C-alpha cells in the first residue's frame, strides 16, 4: 500500500532538498522535471511482529513523494496548471516554506516572510481549484441545453454545489475547511481539488534556527493547525546530509544539534495524523504486512484494500490487538487462550489490529 504525497512551494524554498531528505534520494536540485521517490513508513510494531513470527517477507507501508519541480525561469516562477495537475492523484500535500537565511541563494520575493509565502502557495492552489470549477461550470451550462429532466436535475444540483465552493475559494478559503456532507464530498471527489487535500506546512529552517524551532512551530500551528492542516519545522539541508550516514551515526549527529527525531519520521507521523490513518497488520502467506486505512474503516473495506476478491467473498475476520498478541507470544498461543476475536463485515478496524480475513471466491 502506498500513500502519495505531493511537495509544493515557492521556487528555491528547498522542495528538492526536503524531497531528498525524505526519500534518501539524490535528486539534482537544479533539475526542473518532477522527481518521484519512496520512503518506508517507520513502524516499530511491524518489526516486533516480524521478530515474533519470522515470516519470509516483511512489507512496510510506503509513502511516495512527488517533487513537481516548480522552478524559476528568468526570475519568473513556472508552476502552471499543468504542473499542479501532476498532484491530482496525491493523498496529501507538503508545502515547503523557506525560513533559512542564505545570501548566496536569493529569495524569489527578495526577503524572508513565512506567512507571506504560505499565503502565496495557498493562493496558487486556490486558483488552480477555482479554474477547475469554472471549466466544469461552463460545461454544465452547455449540457443543460440538451438535458432530459433527470439529467437536468443532477446537473443543477452539481452546479449549485460547485457555485458554492467557488464562492468560498474566492474568499480564499481552502475547501478542506468546509463542512461538506458525505454526499457532497463524494460528489466532488473526482475533481481532486488541491485545497481539499490535507496539507502539511514544512518550514525549512537553517541550522542556526534549530534552537528556536519548537516555539516557531507552536506559534505557526496556533494559526495554521486545524482539520487536515499542520505545521512542522525541518532543517532540510541537514536532514539531507544526514541521509548519507548510517542510522546510528545520524542519530549521534542529530543529538548534537538537539534534534530528537528524524525529519522523515516526524513528517510521516504528522501526515498520518492529517490523513487520519490507522495501521493494521496481516500475517498470511508467510508475509507480515502493514496496511494504512482511514480511521473508521470496516473489516469489509479493509479486506477490499488487500484484494477485491476478499471483499466480495468476505466471510469473517479473525482479529487480535497487537498488544494482546505480544502478550500471548505467538498466534498459536493466542488461539489457545481464545484471544482471537471473530469479527463480521461491519467491525471497525482498530489501530494495531492483526487480522486474518476468511473469504471464499
Ligand X SMILES: Nc1nc2c(ncn2[C@@H]2O[C@H](COP(=O)(O)OP(=O)(O)OP(=O)(O)O)[C@@H](O)[C@H]2O)c(=O)[nH]1
Interacting residues toward Mg ion by CB under 5 A: 15-16
Query: Least distance from C-beta 272 to ligand X, angstroms?
Result: 24
Residue 14 touches which of ligand X, Mg ion, none (Cβ within 5-8 Å per kind):
ligand X
**Facing residues of 357 across strands?**
317
The crossing angle, in degrees rounded to 10, of helices 114-145 and 149-170 is 160
Among Mg ion, ligand X, none, partner that 236 touches (CB below 5 to 8 angstroms by kind): ligand X
C-alpha cell at 338: 481464545
* Residue 12 interaction partner, one of Mg ion, ligand X, none, beta carbon < 5-8 Å per kind: ligand X
Which DSSP state fits 288?
A: E
Contacts of 191 (CB under 8 A, 6+ apart): 129, 132, 133, 136
- List residues binding ligand X (CB under 6 A): 9, 11-17, 29, 69-71, 100, 102, 105, 204, 206, 235-237
Q: CA 151 to CA 123: how far, in whole Å?
A: 34
CB of 275 to ligand X, least distance (A): 23
Q: Are 111 and 103 in contact (CB under 8 A)?
A: no
Instruction: State the minimum distance, in angstroms, from the CB of residue 240 to ligand X.
Output: 8
To the nearest whole angstrom, how small is the minimum distance from the Cβ of residue 69 to Mg ion? Answer: 5
Q: Which residue is nearest to Mg ion (CB)?
A: 16
Nearer to Mg ion (CB atom), residue 8 or residue 169: 8
Taking the least distance from each CB to ligand X, the nearer of 175 and 202 is 202
What number of H helices and E strands is found in the chain? Answer: 14, 14
Minimum Å gap between C-beta 144 and Mg ion is 43
Q: Choose among ligand X, Mg ion, none what residue 209 binds, the Cβ cut-off being 5 to 8 Å by kind.
A: none
Closer to Mg ion by Cβ: residue 32 or 187:
32
Q: How far is the CB of 152 from ligand X (least distance, A)?
A: 46
Strand positions, DSSP E, 172-313: 199-204, 229-234, 277-282, 287-294
Cα(313)–Cα(160) distance, rounded to whole angstroms?
A: 40
CA dist 234 and 9 (Å) reads 14
Binds 267: which of Mg ion, ligand X, none (CB < 5-8 Å by kind): none
Q: Which is nearer to ligand X, 100 or 281 (CB)?
A: 100
Amino acid at each position: 500500500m502506498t500513500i502519495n504525497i505531493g511537495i509544493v512551494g515557492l521556487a528555491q524554498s528547498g522542495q528538492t532538498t526536503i524531497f531528498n531528505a525524505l526519500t534518501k534520494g539524490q535528486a539534482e536540485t537544479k533539475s526542473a522535471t518532477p522527481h518521484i521517490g519512496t520512503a518506508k513508513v517507520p513502524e516499530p510494531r511491524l518489526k516486533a511482529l516480524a521478530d515474533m513470527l519470522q515470516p519470509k517477507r516483511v512489507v512496510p507501508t510506503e509513502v511516495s513523494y512527488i517533487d513537481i519541480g516548480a522552478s524559476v525561469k528568468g526570475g519568473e516562477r513556472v508552476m502552471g496548471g499543468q504542473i499542479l495537475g501532476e498532484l491530482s492523484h496525491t493523498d496529501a500535500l507538503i508545502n515547503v516554506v523557506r525560513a533559512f537565511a542564505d545570501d548566496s541563494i536569493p529569495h524569489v520575493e527578495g526577503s524572508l516572510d513565512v506567512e507571506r509565502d504560505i499565503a502565496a502557495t495557498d493562493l496558487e492552489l486556490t486558483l488552480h481549484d477555482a479554474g477547475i470549477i469554472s471549466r466544469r461550470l461552463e460545461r454544465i451550462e452547455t449540457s443543460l441545453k440538451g438535458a432530459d429532466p433527470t439529467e437536468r436535475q443532477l446537473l443543477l444540483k452539481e452546479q449549485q454545489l460547485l457555485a458554492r465552493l467557488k464562492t468560498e475559494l474566492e474568499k480564499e478559503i481552502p475547501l478542506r475547511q468546509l463542512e461538506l456532507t458525505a454526499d457532497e464530498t463524494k460528489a466532488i471527489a473526482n475533481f481532486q481539488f488541491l485545497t481539499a487535500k490535507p496539507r502539511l506546512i514544512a518550514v525549512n529552517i537553517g541550522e542556526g534556527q534549530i534552537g528556536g524551532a519548537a516555539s516557531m512551530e507552536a506559534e505557526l500551528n496556533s494559526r495554521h493547525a486545524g482539520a487536515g492542516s499542520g505545521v512542522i519545522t525541518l532543517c532540510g539541508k541537514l536532514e539531507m546530509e544526514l541521509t548519507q550516514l548510517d542510522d546510528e551515526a545520524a542519530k549521534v549527529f542529530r543529538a548534537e544539534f538537539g534534534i530528537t527525531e528524524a525529519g522523515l519520521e516526524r513528517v510521516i507521523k504528522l501526515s498520518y495524523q492529517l490523513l487520519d490513518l490507522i495501521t493494521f497488520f496481516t500475517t498470511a502467506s508467510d508475509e507480515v504486512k502493514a496496511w494504512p486505512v482511514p480511521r473508521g474503516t470496516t473489516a469489509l473495506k479493509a479486506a477490499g484494500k488487500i484484494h477485491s476478491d476478499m471483499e466480495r467473498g468476505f466471510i469473517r475476520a479473525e482479529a487480535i490487538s497487537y498488544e494482546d498478541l505480544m502478550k500471548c507470544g505467538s498466534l498459536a498461543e493466542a488461539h489457545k487462550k481464545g484471544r482471537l476475536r471473530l469479527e463480521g463485515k461491519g467491525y471497525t478496524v482498530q489501530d494495531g489490529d492483526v487480522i486474518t480475513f476468511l473469504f471464499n471466491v
